[in-house]
Amino acid sequence: MPRFYAVRGSDGGHAVLDRDEMHHAKSVLRLREGESITLILEGKLYQSAFASEGELPLLEEVPTTESNIRITLYQGIPKGDKMDYIVQKCTEAGVHAIVPISMPRCVSKWDGKDVDKKVQRAQRIAQEAAKQSFRAHCPQIGSPITLKQLLQRLGEHELALVPWEDQEGNGLKTLYEKSGAFPEDIAIVIGPEGGMAKEDVDAMTEAGARCVTLGPRIFRTETAGLAAVIGIMALSGNME
């Protein structure tokens, strides 16, 4: 069933599509009047019927597909278009928000006059991925932050995890079995292609983060966060 982002209409019981969504419905999908569609509105899903003019009825709320865990991915800025892949796939996996980090070993930088364009591009990718994967929530793509700013934010989360290739014997399953459950608010920190320096990881643990291993195989920066998110979702029952 076609899905569209909508905003609430004037009477509260209807919704409207913006120009881009209406163009996609009318000119790309060529929907007929009254055809069944799903609306994504204010973090919820609703059944509706397409109307090329006027407001669309909110017929029935659809059960949410959202996880009961909010995962914020703090991603060391990678080279090239790898961030596009990270945003798309982690959105599909259920991540709540993604924040790019400028780390000492980052080759690529998001700064200067192009930074807003890069954030907006990533946000568009997240929106399309959220729609495709039938999510009610579209992850917010944050503006880039520094390592120092990251250290200040880690304590705001109930649990902050740093997957690190040098960590041994403390995987996601072990962590889950020891605690019996994951908290609702989790941060995951992933380094760039060059990894993270030990002094940077030490600073994160001093700020309250916990190092974990993702197993004996080394993930690339564009797959490490995805693996961690899927691991948490599977262990917590959010992939049942």
**DSSP letters along 131-174, please?**
HHTT-S-PPEEPPPEEHHHHHHHHTTSSEEEEE-TT--S-BHHH
- Kindly state the tokens that stand for 19: 């120009």
Say if CB 109 and CB 223 are below 8 A apart. no
Q: Which helix (H) or strand (E) is 201 found in, with range?
A: helix 198-206
Is 90 exceeded by the pLDDT of residue 12?
Answer: no
Model confidence pLDDT, tens digit, residues 112-158: 778 999 999 999 999 999 999 999 999 999 999 999 999 999 999 99
Confidence of residue 53 (pLDDT cuts 50, 70, 90): confident
State the amino acid at position 172 in one-letter form. L
Q: Tokens 């291993």 belong to which residue?
A: 213
The confidence score (pLDDT) of residue 105 equals 82
| pTM, entire model | 0.89
Torsion of CA 73, 78, 82, 86, to 10 degrees: 0
Q: Quick one: tokens of 147? A: 């390592």
pLDDT of residue 73: 98
Give the whole-angstrom CA distance, residue 125 versus residue 134. 14
- For residues 75 and 101, the answer to whether their CB atoms sit within 8 Å is yes
CA distance 236 to 225: 17
